[in-house]
Amino acid sequence: MERTFIMIKPDGVQRGLIGEIISRFEKKGFSLKALKLVNVDRPFAEKHYADLSAKPFFNGLVEYIISGPVVAMVWEGKGVVATGRKIIGATNPLASEPGTIRGDFAIDIGRNVIHGSDSVESATKEIALWFPEGIVSWQSSLHSWIYEE
């Protein structure tokens, strides 16, 4: 079953959006497989965003991610990587559709509330980075019949 890595960034935590965000993924029908509230240090944030190290906004992005706790999660379900990105909305909140998380709750690309893996390959890498301890094994009873094909 497909999995994705989702992170509620420090602004999302500070603004009290944890419950709202979890609720949107739950209501869609995805299953929460791992969750933790963590402060990450600079080397860890730099590793997570290594692909962006050449970007002019890289240092600011790292500063932002280490500025307060983040909520790291793994969500599972059919098509969760692409559909998770749809639920989140476009990277620039001003280009995000209303009804998406960024479209509803953000206006600044540098404070865009949430991160979601952009591909199945990135999800695998990010889940391994953020959850080296492994994740809980359980299956939603809903999914056992939905996914039977």
Shortest CB 115 distance to ligand CMP, Å: 3
Which residue of the set 76, 81, 115, 131 is catalytic? Answer: 115
Distance CA 110, CA 41 (A): 19
Q: Contact 127/75 with Cβ under 8 angstroms?
A: no
Q: Does 138 bind ligand CMP (CB under 6 A)?
A: no
What residues have CB less than 8 Å from 95, skipping those under 6 apart?
none
Number of residues forming the site for ligand CMP (CB under 6 A): 8
Q: Does 110 bind ligand CMP (CB under 6 A)?
A: yes
Q: Is 59 assigned to a binding site?
A: no
**Residue tagged 């995805």 (tokens):** 30
Q: Does 112 bind ligand CMP (CB under 6 A)?
A: yes
Distance CA 62, CA 40 (A): 10
**Residue tagged 């540098």 (tokens):** 110
Residue 73 CA to its chain's centroid (Å):
7
Q: Does 79 bind ligand CMP (CB under 6 A)?
A: no
Q: Is 115 noted as a catalytic residue in this protein?
A: yes
Distance CA 85, CA 46 (A): 22
Q: Does 47 bind ligand CMP (CB under 6 A)?
A: no
**Binding site residue list for ATP:** 9, 57, 85, 91, 102, 112
Please state the residue numbers annotated as binding site.
Answer: 9, 57, 85, 91, 102, 112
Sites of contact with ligand CMP (CB under 6 A): 52, 57, 61, 91, 109-110, 112, 115
